[in-house]
Structure 1
């Protein structure tokens, strides 16, 4: 099985549905990547990459309870092919499924929350 790693910041807090063995968290991570240099100015260009992830069971609970918008998450994931029929045509999509994750740097919301707690 192929696994990948993506490091990004949460676009918004994860959404959780279900509980226990049926817990599912969905969230989007955004990261900037190199997109070449501007031919006229020579300035480095970046583009945003956003991937939608799905986590299950305990990982889903942990993410939903502890992650906030802007937090950095390091995700080890696998890609699952999804194929279905729509209007007589085959549609191909992908699911990005969390195998494991680590919390990275806290985002602005969490940093503000920490600083209010120290007052």
Structure 2
């Protein structure tokens, strides 16, 4: 069994298709990771990592209802193969499926919403 955790911020609000047992949410999380040090200046370099996730049913609805662009999510996920044939060649692809998640720190938009007293 694989166990993967990714902590990142929503690139934009998640999109939802379907409802109930057919609910599907798709969203992209972005995080910065260490990319070594600059040889000349010695400064730490970072690179952005963006992963598109898919969540189903109640998890999908909860993410769409409660998370906004910039909000942090902590996602437990599994990787699923999604290979297919195109023009006689195998294209190797993967889906990142949400197994569980937690809401992390609110993003700028949500913090502004709460500071103006319009938060839920």
The TM-score bracket by the shorter chain reads over 0.9
Structure 1 runs not aligned, ≥5 long = none
SS at match of 1:111: helix
Deviations 1:42-74 (A, max 9, x none): 000000000000000000000000000000000
2:117 aligned residue: 117
Deviations 1:10-32 (A, max 9, x none): 00000000000000000000000
Q: Give the superposition deviation at 1:3.
A: 1.8
Q: CA RMSD for the aligned pairs?
A: 0.8
1:58 aligned residue: 58
2:15 aligned residue: 15
Q: TM-score, normalised by structure 2?
A: 0.97
- Runs (4+) off by over 3 Å: none
Structure 2 runs not aligned, ≥5 long = none
